[in-house]
Amino acid sequence: MCGIVGFTNKINDSNRVIGEMMDRIKHRGPDAEGKYVDEDIALGHRRLSIIDVSSQGDQPLFNEDGTVVLVFNGEIYNFQGIRERLIEAGHRFRTKTDSEVLIHGYEEYGTKLLDMLRGMFSFVIWDKNKKELFGARDFFGIKPLYYAQMNDTFMFGSEIKSFLAHPHFKKELNTSVLENYLTFQYSPTQETFFKGVYKLPPAHYFIYKDGKLKTERFWDVHFSPDEKPDLEEWTNKISDIFHDSVKAHKIADVEVGSFLSSGVDSSYVAAVADVDKTFTVGFGKDEKYNEIGWAKEFSKAIGKENTSKVITPEEYWGNLAKIQYHMDEPLADPAAVALYFVCNIASEQLKVVLSGEGADEIFGGYNVYSEPGATFYDKLPRAVKRGIGAAAEKLPAKRGVNFFVRKGKDLEERFIGNAYMFTPEERRSLLKIRTNAPMPQEITKPFYDNVRGMDDVTKMQYLDLHLWMAGDILLKADKMSMANSLELRVPFLDREVMALAERIPVRYRVTHKEITDENTKYITKYAMRLAAKKDTPKQTAKTAAKKKLGFPVPIRVWLKEDKYYNIVRSTFEGASSQKFFNTAVLVKLLDDHRAGKADNSRKIWTVFIFLVWYKVYFENDGKY
């Protein structure tokens, strides 16, 4: 895994600037560095050596005559087959890396190369003859790619922080994104928290030439259920394709390990991958927040070594600024910090780990997916449910009332993903500033339009695959692993796995029937859980049915303790907070949570993390 940076050359000291930009992302590639600079372009690369660990794999890489230059971040798992085809076509390779197939593949196939790739990637190619930049980001958005056009300069990179070293970069807060962040807990659009900086969306490529930028999608998810195979056949198909994906994701010239929690996703990965080492973190001794016992039991059953760490509250809170620095943009997912620590302990022993991200979005694993059609209430006429819901909205929010409010709205009105922090009304009352931020439903509408007429489960999966997964799940996976110079691979997020999952009928993804197997009840990820059970030891089969926790963090508990309550209150009442927020509203959220009147922990955390991030980038100039 690596880090890339670059810019169109409009400055005199480009060698120094590209070097400083590379230094900002040294953590992404501590093994080697390289740069290319001419009168038109400056390209930089930091390398974490995984395949062909000799210096021959250092970048930038060139074609035979030096007219095509590549910087690449990621892994191409089917590169060997593509390489053979390119050699037959007359291309000459000087390395054994997967990177070089991108150069010759671009020469041979142009943008059609992207249709052939299997892997995770963000890369940029400079074509000297065409005076053209061609860049692309992988199918799911596993690897990041940011860009900006400022003062006649086009710049790009794996991390926004690298832009801070460029003299043409203007650092300015994008307040519209702040407003959306308060609802989603991450930035959900192509815009970022830095005005003028954008994310290249997953499955898109760009071409930059003569000062003009063109972007285009090259792949998308297309759910098309196949009703012919029965459940057993689907289970076998999942098992076969997942074994194949794991095998591809293990290709490396260095040792590969695996993250492990108590859930089915990571357990399935660890069991199939047959790695030697697994890694787990937890908090305290309460099983609600500590999965180490489960992980050690599973590791023992599959004959593997487990390394674990109990994260103390002091460690968690003490590293928040560092973590938000590495995140580039604020992310209010408390699990990001736990992920940082499990990456940290893994990086002490190896360079590559496998992880279970993506299984829920692809196979239908989130509990919310089981809501549509789950109760008798769903069968009532729409008008009746909407009337009851409208009346319920006027009552104080609590669990029973929230049910009727939620059921009184169409899916497109109420579901924006796995997190819904502040409603538009709440964020307006919270914010002092006014922005032109779109409503949440304006952001989700284009995705819902693409799956119009499909069932609600499929609609939720499609939305999460495009927003939640890229904006939260994969953002923290990339940034926390790279902060520790660790490559994280996700075998569920494979285009071949997705091609199979697209065809699985919804009843085999999520079921409301009382289906039990050896006293085990399955509701979500139904067919995938059966496949996982088939591939895991009998004594650990209960893992396939265990409720997903996913790095649970005791934020709600800590916020009631004096020490952490006071830290947050001081931040809420500080000068930075007063620039953006009505602090009395924030303090009331905090006090009501402490008094047990409501669980406001996630809303509190969303605002607090933004203020931690803002201090790092706008008060400390990118230092923590």
What is the pLDDT averaged over residues 152-160?
97
Question: What is this structure's pTM?
Answer: 0.94
187 and 311 within one domain: no
Q: Is residue 417 part of a domain?
A: no
The DSSP H or E segment spanning 608 is helix 601-614
Told to judge if 2 belongs to the known catalytic residues of this protein, a careful annotator would answer yes
pLDDT at position 254 is 85
pLDDT at position 262 is 79
Q: Is residue 165 part of a domain?
A: yes
Q: Is the pLDDT at 548 greater than 70, yes or no?
A: no
Q: Is residue 36 part of a domain?
A: yes
Confidence band of 187 (pLDDT split at 50, 70, 90): very high
Q: Is the pLDDT at 204 greater than 70, yes or no?
A: yes
pLDDT at position 553 is 85
Q: Is the pLDDT at 298 greater than 70, yes or no?
A: yes
pLDDT at position 52 is 61
Q: What is the pLDDT of residues 460-489, one digit of tens each?
A: 999 999 999 999 999 999 999 999 999 999
Q: Is the pLDDT at 409 greater than 90, yes or no?
A: no
> Domain residues for 481?
231-364+467-545
Q: Is residue 404 part of a domain?
A: no
Q: Is the pLDDT at 541 greater than 70, yes or no?
A: no
Q: Is the pLDDT at 374 greater than 70, yes or no?
A: no
Query: Which of 43, 49, 55 lies closest to 95, judged by CA?
Result: 55
Q: Is the pLDDT at 415 greater than 60, yes or no?
A: yes
What is the pLDDT averaged over residues 331-346?
96
CA of residue 198 relative to chain centroid, distance: 16
pLDDT at position 468 is 97
Q: Is the pLDDT at 490 greater than 60, yes or no?
A: yes
Nearest 5 degrees, angle CA 425-CA 429-CA 435? Answer: 80
Last residue of a domain, one of 217, 241, 257: 217
122 and 253 within one domain: no
Percentage of residues of the chain with pLDDT beyond 90: 79
Give me the residues paired with residue 282 across strands: 290, 310
pLDDT at position 20 is 97
pLDDT at position 518 is 54
What is the pLDDT averaged over residues 350-363?
96
Q: What is the pLDDT of residues 115-140, one digit of tens each?
A: 999 999 999 999 999 999 999 999 99
Q: Looking at per-residue confidence, does 515 or 617 come out higher?
A: 617
Catalytic residue among 2, 133, 302, 480: 2
SS3 219: coil
Q: Is residue 577 part of a domain?
A: yes
Q: Mark 380-399 as b/e (b = at least 16 C-beta within 10 Å).
A: eeeeebbebbeebeeeeeee
Q: Mark 1-38 as b/e (b = at least 16 C-beta within 10 Å).
A: bbbbbbbbbebeebeebbbbbbebbebbbebbbbbbbe
Give me the residues paired with residue 4 across strands: 45
256 and 298 within one domain: yes
476 and 359 within one domain: yes
563 and 516 within one domain: no
**What spatial distance separates the first Cα and last Cα of the chain, rounded to whole Å?**
24
pLDDT at position 294 is 86
pLDDT at position 293 is 87
| Mean of the per-residue pLDDT values of the chain | 92
Q: Is the pLDDT at 288 greater than 70, yes or no?
A: no
Q: Which CATH number characterizes residue 165's domain?
A: 3.60.20.10
What's the burial of 446, exposed, middle or buried (CB within 10 Å: 0-12/13-18/19+)? exposed
What is the pLDDT averaged over residues 308-322?
96
Confidence band of 248 (pLDDT split at 50, 70, 90): very high
Q: Is residue 394 part of a domain?
A: no
pLDDT at position 389 is 77
Q: Is the pLDDT at 347 greater than 90, yes or no?
A: yes
Confidence band of 81 (pLDDT split at 50, 70, 90): very high
Q: What is the pLDDT of residues 22-33, one digit of tens each?
A: 999 999 999 889
567 and 496 within one domain: no
What is the pLDDT averaged over residues 578-598?
96
149 and 116 within one domain: yes
Sign of torsion over alpha carbons 416, 419, 423, 427: negative
pLDDT at position 56 is 59
Q: Is the pLDDT at 188 greater than 70, yes or no?
A: yes
Q: Is residue 371 part of a domain?
A: no
Last residue of a domain, one of 483, 517, 545: 545
pLDDT at position 551 is 53
Which residues, including other chains, have CB under 8 Å from residue 155's CB and lie 6 or more apart? Answer: 5, 6, 7, 8, 147, 148, 149, 163, 166, 168, 169
Number of domains in the chain: 3
What distance in Å separates the CA atoms of residue 577 and residue 84, rounded to the nearest whole number?
58
213 and 70 within one domain: yes
Last residue of a domain, one of 217, 243, 271: 217
Q: Is the pLDDT at 581 greater than 70, yes or no?
A: yes
Q: Which CATH number characterizes residue 475's domain?
A: 3.40.50.620
- For strands 2-8 and 32-37, give the pairing: unpaired
261 and 167 within one domain: no
Locus of tokens 């880090």: 3
339 and 235 within one domain: yes
559 and 530 within one domain: no
Sign of torsion over alpha carbons 188, 175, 564, 422: negative
Query: How many other C-beta atoms lie within 10 A of the C-beta of residue 286?
Result: 11
Q: Is residue 81 part of a domain?
A: yes
118 and 60 within one domain: yes
